[in-house]
């Protein structure tokens, strides 16, 4: 019964993670197609460019929720406590994260970079580490005025923060996987940073 419950949670996490909230919201409230405007990304930063701060904030919170909600459900529904529970919570987090990167409803294409969804996952998995990573993100934005640098630095910092926070063994592995994927998804940003062409906020 517990295995069936875990499988249902993981599947639901991927389906929820696949909802492209940025695309849905901009189509509902603007005449712009997010995929053909700005960076073409479905995340909150591109929503901000074409639809303003309010819609961007809603997108950010929705993308965080699609990571945080299924992980929270896994945390309270899976028993017993221990490595098994942490492992299912991490697999659920990865499913939601991959749903955002490779959304089913968009045939696995045009997904986001995963920063907000990862943040939502770790707000539940390791709140202290997530809070520290958020502070790093804010600090780097203040220093550089570039969101991509904040995202990359926070992503690389997260596995270290999770390990130092003493999280259950599967959680640092989950953080490391997400960090690697976030860096890969930022490859175009990295190229622009190298050539001094990355736009400022």
Is 157 domain-assigned? yes
Is 106 domain-assigned? yes
Tens-digit pLDDT profile for residues 93-133: 999 999 999 999 998 888 999 999 999 999 999 999 999 99
What pLDDT, on a 0 to 100 scale, did the predictor assign at position 50? 87
Is 85 domain-assigned? yes
What pLDDT, on a 0 to 100 scale, did the predictor assign at position 188? 92
Is 200 domain-assigned? no
Is residue 126 within 8 A of residue 162, CB to CB? The reply is yes
Is 67 domain-assigned? yes
What mean pLDDT is predicted for residues 163-173?
Answer: 91
Is residue 101 within 8 A of residue 181, CB to CB? The reply is yes
Is residue 96 within 8 A of residue 70, CB to CB? The reply is yes
What range defines the domain where residue 52 resides?
2-194
Is 201 domain-assigned? no
Is 103 domain-assigned? yes
Is 177 domain-assigned? yes
Instruction: Give dist(CA 199, CA 188) in Å, integer.
Output: 12
What pLDDT, on a 0 to 100 scale, did the predictor assign at position 38? 73
Tens-digit pLDDT profile for residues 52-97: 899 999 999 999 999 999 999 998 888 766 678 899 999 999 999 9
According to the 3-state scheme, what is the secondary structure of the chain? Answer: CHHHHHHHHHHHHHHHHCCCHHHHHHHHHCCCCHHHCCCCCCCHHHHHHHHCHHHHHHHHHHHHHHHHHHHHHHHHHCCCCCHHHHHHHHHHHHHHHHHHHCCHHHCCCCCCCCHHHHHHHHHHHCHHHHHHHHHHHHHHHHHHCCHHHHHHHHHHHHHHHHHHCCCCCHHHHHHHHHHHHHHHHCHHHHHHHHCCCCCCC
Number of structural domains the chain divides into = 1
């Amino acid at each position: 019964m517990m295995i069936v419950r875990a499988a249902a949670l993981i599947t639901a996490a991927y389906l929820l993670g696949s909802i492209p909230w940025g695309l849905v919201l901009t189509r509902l409230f603007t005449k712009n197609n997010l995929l053909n405007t700005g960076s073409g990304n479905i995340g909150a930063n591109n929503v901000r460019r074409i639809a303003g701060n309010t819609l961007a904030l809603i997108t950010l919170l929705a993308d965080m929720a699609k990571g945080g909600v299924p992980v929270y459900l896994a945390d309270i529904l899976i028993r017993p406590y221990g490595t098994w529970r942490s492992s299912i919570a991490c697999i659920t987090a990865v499913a939601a994260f991959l749903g955002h990167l490779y959304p089913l409803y968009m045939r696995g294409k045009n997904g986001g970079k995963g920063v907000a969804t990862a943040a939502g996952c770790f707000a539940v998995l390791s709140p202290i580490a997530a809070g520290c990573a958020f502070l790093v993100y804010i600090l780097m934005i203040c220093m550089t005025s570039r969101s991509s640098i904040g995202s990359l630095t926070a992503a690389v910092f997260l596995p270290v923060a999770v390990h130092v926070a003493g999280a259950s063994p599967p959680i640092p592995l989950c953080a490391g996987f997400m960090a690697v994927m976030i860096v890969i998804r930022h490859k175009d940003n990295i190229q622009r940073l190298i050539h001094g062409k990355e736009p400022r906020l």
